[in-house]
Structure 1
Amino acid sequence: MIKALLYSTLALLALLAAVLAGTVIGETHLQPSVVGQVLANHLWQAGYPVDPIDAGIVWNYRLTRSLVAAACGAGLATCGVILQALLRNPLAEPYLLGLSAGASTGAVLVGLLGLGSAALSMSGGAFLGALAAFALVLVLARAAGPDSNNAQVILAGIAGSQLFNALTALLITQSATAEQARGILFWLLGNLSGVRWPSVWLALPAALFGLVVCLWHRRALDAFTFGSDSAASLGIAVRRSQLLLISCAALVTAVMVSIVGAIGFVGLVIPHALRLLLGPGHGRLLPASALGGALFLIAADILSRTLIAGQVIPVGVVTALLGAPVFALILISRRGRP
């Protein structure tokens, strides 16, 4: 009990330190004392005299970016753990089911053609597109046969991704101006620039919801690691648990993609690396992956704002540049293992 409390405290301190680092570090130099004064003014009405521009940068730009990055990183890593356990595939990750591609199509439909624009934002369209992609994958997998295996689900996800990617490319080619195409491309590569407090209040609950649901079903995830038959022999309601957990992964991923666009490698690399360190037990793996995903995406966001002076790189580009070599090292380290 004491050890668990100590680890929880250290994890919370690490997360707070990362969020503060993301708030302090940026293209505009701000003293840490200024950041502290802005936070104190908003949280406790401290009344420090702070330049309004500095206050706006800290409170409405950097802090929201850091919080959304933490939530998205935690949510995507949690989804990666779910899919890798359920599909028994170490390469499974949140975009395996075509959610990112579907979200892209939904956002483009709203942004370019104005479909439902009176009631839907671009993020809302992305959310509905992600859910449509998930439904298509389920239909394709079920059409393959009543006893669809994990390989068929993976192939259905690949087919769905290709279909929605093609639809997105067609829409951009036929309907977008040069400026619109540039903006859409930046969003598709992962963009935290436009997030504000409404995005925080959407991303944080979604990430916490996914983590709590998965922790509640950690015993089922442990059992699914050894296959559906093993899970059934242990008294797990296989079909119900699979549907619930995959739906949870789809919902969390859809929310995150609708806010920040497509960010890859978080749900693939983080669970892989922490499984090597902590073992396959989901009671430890899930919270550790959520923390690791949050820290990883905050670090990637800081790099996206500081690597090139005066320019913000899409955060999805940074995660790919960091994640690809790390994943290659993980594969090499696993050589010869089952």
Structure 2
Amino acid sequence: MTVMNMIQAINNAHDVMMERDDNIVVTGEDIGYFGGVFRATEGLQKKYGTRRVFDAPIAEGGIVAVGIGMAAYGLRPVVEIQFADYIYPGFDQIVSEAGRMRYRTAGEWYLPMVIRSPYGGGIFGGQTHSQSPEALFAHACGIKTVIPSNPYDAKGLLIAAIEDDDPVVFFEPKRIYNGPFDGHFDRPVTPWAKHPAAEVPDGHYTVPIGKAAIARAGEAVTILAYGTMVHLALGVVAELGIDAEVIDLRTIVPVDIETIEESVKKTGRCIVLHEATRTAGFGAELSALVQERCFYHLEAPVVRVTGFDTPYPHSLEWAYFPGPIRLGNALKKVLED
């Protein structure tokens, strides 16, 4: 076991897999000599060479297209989109080509590729470096969407994603790149800092895609969260002394509906928590699933706590985030109904 933050765990996952399999290649903007904006690929080019770790031009559609071609050829590419906000030029390639390849070829071809990207806010990145577009990919068939909340899961899930024979979009919450924020919900973190966060096994291991984790067991209310919001939920319920069960989804497609259903039927109450905008966010899908499967067990309506339906506000980003006050009010509401 080695103590790592999420950046180090992601870097180590690349290293472990590249050492095991010569077919794994890595590309993206500034990921080679520079090691990536957040240093997630630091040292890989020096160790594995420029034929396996190479920089790409500023052309996200091209980066994804090259990855699709490499995967179809028999390689296992891991491509990085420098920020999730930049992924839109590659969106058509992801949903129209990568996500449909297995189906359009009747299973003859498949695409074992991973599209990694830092996502979400918390570092004063502004409107073009802070978005949370996960719901768009959850809506597109043929793509798995993974969002870890801690270093252990980040490494295990990334290894599982690289080994998967279908395309995986792997969003990394940059607000917790250097470790959880230890109860400080109202200030930014420095994602480049090398603060340790958790013990992570050395070598190869996987965390299964499509299986949620119970981050905190409880009886009074279920909170469904992923990424950064898992830490918010854990901090707030501890501060308020509420016996909440916090479910870390880890993967939103495929979503672990069995764990969700079991928890909500036990607690009778549910809050859905995410950073992305409210309207048509993934929380709407979670809310609908809970209503469909747990309606007769609910003691109160499902409540969503989300970002606002506005363009991402640079100067007001900490007002935009779901924080302790908004989550605390939602807990009070759902427990009193």
Answer yes or no: same fold by TM over 0.5. Answer: no
**In which range does the TM-score fall when normalised by the shorter chain?**
under 0.3
**So what's the TM-score if we normalise by structure 1?**
0.27
Greater percentage in helix: 1
**So what's the TM-score if we normalise by structure 2?**
0.27
